[in-house]
């Protein structure tokens, strides 16, 4: 296989070939076709498919795992999940990359979510700890730009070239900057909590990415300490529409927000650590209280970490939602903002006022 060592390997299932092919074309245009392994084009006729793929993974710097809606549930003979077969090519490609400590970038297509660790075989379970990038048709160029930025950090030879023209249209907002990594190291207790997050179920499936161009740019009114987030948003991935409205209102008022996956740097291999650090540096946690969020173990973990870090909690709901015992315990000592009988916009205005009051008191 004639190619340059240290390039990009694209792993995908056949049902996602159209998505993978479109991605391969975009990567080849930016980084050069010789630097992209997409087996249909790059495996020579008569060559050993298995040997060539193994060698290609070994010589690559990055493996992009294209995950479509049927990536996890695809079955082979006898109805067995392909991912559970040690001989499954997709599993072997990812396992090889993990064993060789390659950079992994899950790319979600077709509105797919990243599986949780307990849904994957042990040899590829750590795939879920890498920040995923979502490529959706309604904002494909924005997602592609995010992927380019992540790859430029890993492919120094390519990153040193003059920057390629942005894939985004000229009228589109500038790409959102990657939040700076906190300079402080984790304390012992924070490391323990980070380990607990991983051990108690790992990271949930990646919530559907939102159109970031619809949100105010980052770096607006940041606290005087630098890039510390004012407000951490804890929510269920089913409540993205409400989340977007809340973020727009708060950031327009000058209160920077932090939420996953938007504010996790594409280069971060460890979602739990990024979330724990963001909570510890927040001045307030707003919890979007809905039926789904009150069933979410991830939301409960975030609230638990916030309480341990003594970050004030502000539960916010636009409907009456019964609280499970665990949440009743954490919410009992503070204010709970339940705004019903008005429009969502009016409810968010009340939230904005409450946040301003809480942050003024905290200051």
Q: Is 180 inside a domain boundary?
A: no
∠ CA 277-190-131, rounded to 5°: 45
Q: Which residues of the chain have pLDDT under 70?
A: 1-6, 39-50, 156-229, 267-269, 361-363
Q: How far is CA 1 from CA 14, 45, 97, 196, 272, in A?
A: 21, 10, 18, 44, 38
Q: Is 174 inside a domain boundary?
A: no
Same-domain check for residues 222 and 306: yes
The residues pairing with 284 across neighbouring beta strands, listed in sequence order, are 231
Q: Pull the structure tokens for residue 299.
A: 């939301």
Number of H helices, E strands in the chain: 12, 10
Same-domain check for residues 123 and 42: yes
- Which pLDDT score is estimated for 43? 53
Tally of domains within the chain = 2
- Which pLDDT score is estimated for 305? 93
Name every residue whose Cβ is closer than 8 Å to that of residue 245 and which is 6 or more positions away in sequence.
344, 345, 348
DSSP state of 184: S
- Which pLDDT score is estimated for 45? 54
Same-domain check for residues 94 and 203: no
Q: Is 264 inside a domain boundary?
A: yes
Residue from 346, 323, 349 nearest 336 by CA = 323
309 close to 301: Cβ distance less than 8 angstroms: no
**Whole-number Å distance between alpha carbons of 252 and 221:** 9
Q: Are strands 103-109 and 62-67 parallel, antiparallel or unpaired?
A: parallel
- Which pLDDT score is estimated for 220? 34
Name every residue whose Cβ is closer than 8 Å to that of residue 161 and which is 6 or more positions away in sequence.
none
Q: pLDDT by residue (tens digit) across 200-254?
A: 344 433 333 333 333 333 333 333 333 456 899 999 988 988 999 999 999 888 8
Question: What CATH number is given to the structural domain containing 72?
Answer: 3.40.50.10140
Residue 325, judged by CB atoms within 10 A of its CB (0-12, 13-18, 19+), counts as exposed
**Whole-number Å distance between alpha carbons of 274 and 279:** 9
**Whole-number Å distance between alpha carbons of 216 and 238:** 21
Q: Is 177 inside a domain boundary?
A: no
Same-domain check for residues 345 and 226: yes
- Which pLDDT score is estimated for 173? 38
Same-domain check for residues 192 and 155: no
Domain limits for position 42 = 8-159
């Amino acid at each position: 296989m004639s190619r340059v060592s240290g390039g990009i390997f694209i792993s995908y299932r056949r049902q996602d070939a159209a998505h993978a092919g479109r991605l391969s074309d975009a990567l080849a245009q930016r980084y050069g076709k010789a630097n992209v392994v997409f087996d249909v084009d790059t495996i020579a006729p008569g060559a050993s498919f298995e040997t060539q793929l193994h060698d290609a993974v070994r010589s690559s710097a990055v493996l992009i795992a294209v995950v479509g809606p049927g990536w996890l549930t695809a079955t082979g003979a006898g109805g067995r999940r392909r991912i559970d077969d040690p001989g499954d090519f997709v599993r072997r490609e990812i396992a090889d990359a993990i064993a060789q400590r390659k950079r992994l970038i899950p790319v979600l297509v077709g509105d797919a979510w990243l599986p949780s660790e307990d849904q994957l075989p042990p040899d590829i379970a750590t795939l879920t700890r890498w920040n995923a990038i979502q490529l959706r048709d309604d904002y494909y160029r924005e997602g592609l730009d995010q992927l380019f930025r992540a790859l430029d950090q890993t492919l120094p030879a390519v990153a040193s070239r003059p920057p390629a023209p942005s894939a985004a249209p000229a009228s589109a907002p500038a790409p959102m900057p990657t939040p700076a990594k906190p300079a402080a190291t984790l304390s012992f207790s924070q490391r323990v909590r980070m380990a607990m997050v991983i051990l108690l179920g790992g990271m949930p499936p990646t919530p559907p990415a939102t159109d970031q161009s619809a949100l105010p740019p980052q770096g607006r009114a940041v606290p005087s300490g630098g890039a510390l987030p004012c407000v951490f948003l804890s929510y269920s991935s089913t409540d993205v529409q409400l989340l977007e409205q809340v973020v727009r209102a708060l950031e327009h008022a000058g209160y920077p927000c932090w939420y996953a996956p938007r504010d996790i740097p594409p280069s971060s291999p460890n979602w739990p650590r990024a979330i724990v650090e963001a909570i510890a540096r927040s001045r307030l946690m707003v919890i979007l209280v809905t039926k789904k969020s009150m069933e979410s173990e991830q939301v409960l973990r975030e609230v638990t970490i916030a309480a341990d870090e003594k970050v004030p909690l502000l539960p916010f709901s636009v409907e009456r939602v019964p609280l499970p015992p665990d949440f009743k315990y954490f919410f009992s000592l503070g204010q709970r903002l339940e705004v019903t009988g008005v429009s969502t916009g009016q409810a968010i205005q009340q939230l904005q006022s409450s946040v301003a009051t809480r942050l003024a008191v905290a200051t």
